[in-house]
Amino acid sequence: MARPPRAVFVTLLASALCVGLASGANAVPGSRQTAQVQAPAVLAPAKVEGVAPTAAGVQKALAAILKDPALGKHRGVYVYDASRDKPVFSVGAATPYVPASTLKLLTTVSALETLGAEHTFITKVVSAAKGSIILVGGGDPLLTIKSQTDPTDYPTRASLQALAASTAKALKAQGIASIALGYDASLFTGPAANANWEPNYVAEGIAAPTSALWVNEGRLAPSMAKRAPSPAQAAASAFATQLKAVGIKVTGTVKPAVAPAAGKALAQVASPSVGEIVEYVNLHSDNDGAEVLLRHVGLATKNGGSYVGGVKGVKATLSKLGLDVSKATIEDGSGLSRTNRVPLDLLAGAVRVAAADDHAELRHLLTGLPVAGFSGSLEDRFAGPGAGSGTGLVRAKTGTLTGVHSLAGLVRDRTGTLLVFAVASDSVPVPKTLAARAALDRASAALANCGCAV
């Protein structure tokens, strides 16, 4: 998806604020006729550590907002001073919350930790029996059937067109113009749809049956919500069409197959890096991408490629990162399940470890967070009264289900202190949906405008 110019600017700005970088520019050295000039800084240098906030100061900033009746009875906030590595304030945080899509923070930080930000997923074509090939899914969540030619699209995706062209070239070099085609999506195991989801989620295209082989996340067409009943079958059929377009005839029926372990790879395409995928998933709150990453975490932690194995892997990884998962109930990777229950300090904790000096490998979690008023799921937020001071400064993952609203992310307050926060309600009366969302915007904006020392 192309990033709007203003979003690009604010993304760079907020990234600098997150990591405490100072911005300065030097003019290009002049010739003998032009003296070197020191250009003024575009921004004042971000302070690494501002005034220490106090519990009383944060409470004063948030008290009126947290009393908003639109938030229902079960509302809370947790604030952590990342500049000094200590919690500052919490209220209503004794019991876990239905996190909705803020759960993706747990999935994506686990993917970065277990797989590495530079890891990619390979979709390949292998030779099988004489005159046949097998399309093998490697769990690329962003594999597309539509070639992307716009250089501003992010991230650049692997495409079936590219894979078909490479496959055709390899076959023609062997004098082959007609083949049988099978497909192997066995990398992931277990049910394709999570048993804890509402029954309409897959039927209405809210989520796809998760597969290690799909294109456009199983959609019947790129712009459609409705998904193919078998995303792998649909991907293989689409691949057959692409092969025909480049001069290779596919004979017989395209059907499931098992790729031979020693099968020769004729062609392959690589996904964007895990870091780029994490950014995409959090920026756009992509349910399907999160579910694929969950299964990869399960495989990477040797718990298997099912959603059950993925959940085990996420919990183990979060514990390894020093986060307490003992009070958390995690059912999926996307936050679609209403039986998820996560403490606010755990949601904030995923952001906190990604911002820590000793976890630079997790930074993509921060750079992919939506920017208030400018990008992703926050593009149209922070426009109401009292929220404007957070525009361009708050970076947070959103969470939304009926009756559930949450934000978890980070912001530098006006003195330079880096605050990590999670604020949520899972008891919002449906008629108060927009008012509750606006209250969460105001709460995080208040932290951006806060010295919070008194």
What is the residue-averaged pLDDT of the chain? 89
- Which pLDDT band, with edges at 50, 70 and 90, does 32 fall under? very low
Q: Do residues 378 and 442 share a domain?
A: yes
- Which pLDDT band, with edges at 50, 70 and 90, does 197 fall under? very high
Last residue of a domain, one of 247, 271, 295: 271
Strands laid side by side in the 86-91 sheet: 86-91, 75-81, 418-425, 404-412, 395-401
Q: Do residues 141 and 156 share a domain?
A: yes
Q: Do residues 360 and 411 share a domain?
A: yes
Strands (E) across 44-203 are located at 75-81, 86-91, 122-127, 132-136, 178-184
Q: Do residues 132 and 247 share a domain?
A: yes
Cis peptide before 155 (omega within 30 of 0): yes
Last residue of a domain, one of 217, 242, 271: 271
Give the per-residue pLDDT at 106.
98
Give the per-residue pLDDT at 40.
58
Question: Domain for residue 102, yes or no?
Answer: yes
Residue pLDDT, tens place only, 157-181: 999 999 999 999 999 999 999 999 9
Cα–Cα distance between 294 and 173 in angstroms, integer? 39
Task: Please report, for residues 43, 134, 164, 245, the alpha-carbon distance to residue 258 in angstroms, rounded to integers and kept in the order given.
Answer: 57, 8, 20, 25
Residue pLDDT, tens place only, 319-333: 999 999 999 999 999
Q: Do residues 328 and 412 share a domain?
A: yes
We report the CATH number of the domain holding residue 112 as: 3.40.710.10
CB 211 within 8 A of CB 232: yes
Give the per-residue pLDDT at 191.
96
Residue 150 vs residue 61, higher pLDDT: 61
CB 451 within 8 A of CB 389: no
CB 137 within 8 A of CB 214: yes
Question: Domain for residue 356, yes or no?
Answer: yes
What is the rounded average pLDDT of the residues 17-39? 39
Q: Do residues 352 and 214 share a domain?
A: no
CB-count exposure of residue 20 (10 Å: 0-12, 13-18, 19+): middle
Give the per-residue pLDDT at 451.
84
> Residue 84: which residues within 8 A CB-CB, separation 6 or more?
49, 52, 417
With 80 as the cut, is the pLDDT of residue 39 above it? no
Last residue of a domain, one of 271, 291, 311: 271
> Residue 119: which residues within 8 A CB-CB, separation 6 or more?
273, 274
Structure tokens at 23: 């911005």
Question: Domain for residue 247, yes or no?
Answer: yes
Q: Do residues 69 and 191 share a domain?
A: no
**Percentage above 90 pLDDT, the chain:** 82
Residue pLDDT, tens place only, 357-367: 999 999 999 99
Q: Do residues 300 and 443 share a domain?
A: yes
- Provide the domain count of the chain: 3
With 80 as the cut, is the pLDDT of residue 190 above it? yes
With 60 as the cut, is the pLDDT of residue 45 above it? no
Question: Domain for residue 84, yes or no?
Answer: yes
Cα–Cα distance between 374 and 31 in angstroms, integer? 40
Residue pLDDT, tens place only, 67-113: 999 999 999 999 999 999 999 999 999 999 999 999 999 999 999 99
Give the per-residue pLDDT at 150.
58
- Which pLDDT band, with edges at 50, 70 and 90, does 229 fall under? very high
Q: Do residues 395 and 309 share a domain?
A: yes
Question: Domain for residue 368, yes or no?
Answer: yes
Give the per-residue pLDDT at 95.
96
Give the per-residue pLDDT at 149.
52
Question: Domain for residue 454, yes or no?
Answer: no
Q: Do residues 364 and 423 share a domain?
A: yes
Cα–Cα distance between 107 and 300 in angstroms, integer? 13
Q: Do residues 255 and 347 share a domain?
A: no
DSSP character at residue 252: E
Structural domain including 24 reads 5-39
Question: Domain for residue 381, yes or no?
Answer: yes
Measuring CA to CA, which residue among 324, 235, 405, 285 is closest to residue 227?
A: 235
We report the CATH number of the domain holding residue 256 as: 3.50.80.20
What is the rounded average pLDDT of the residues 393-408? 97
Q: Do residues 87 and 191 share a domain?
A: no
**Structure pTM?**
0.89
What is the rounded average pLDDT of the residues 56-67? 95
What is the rounded average pLDDT of the residues 110-124? 98
Question: Domain for residue 362, yes or no?
Answer: yes
Give the per-residue pLDDT at 152.
65
Q: Which range among 33-37, 96-100, 337-341, 429-433 shows the weakest confidence by mean pLDDT?
A: 33-37
Residue pLDDT, tens place only, 246-287: 999 999 999 999 999 887 899 999 999 999 999 999 999 999
> Residue 360: which residues within 8 A CB-CB, separation 6 or more?
none
Residue 7 vs residue 230, higher pLDDT: 230
> Residue 331: which residues within 8 A CB-CB, separation 6 or more?
194, 196, 311, 337, 339, 340
Alpha-helical (H) ranges within 212-370 are 231-245, 274-284, 287-300, 307-320, 344-355, 364-367
With 50 as the cut, is the pLDDT of residue 348 above it? yes
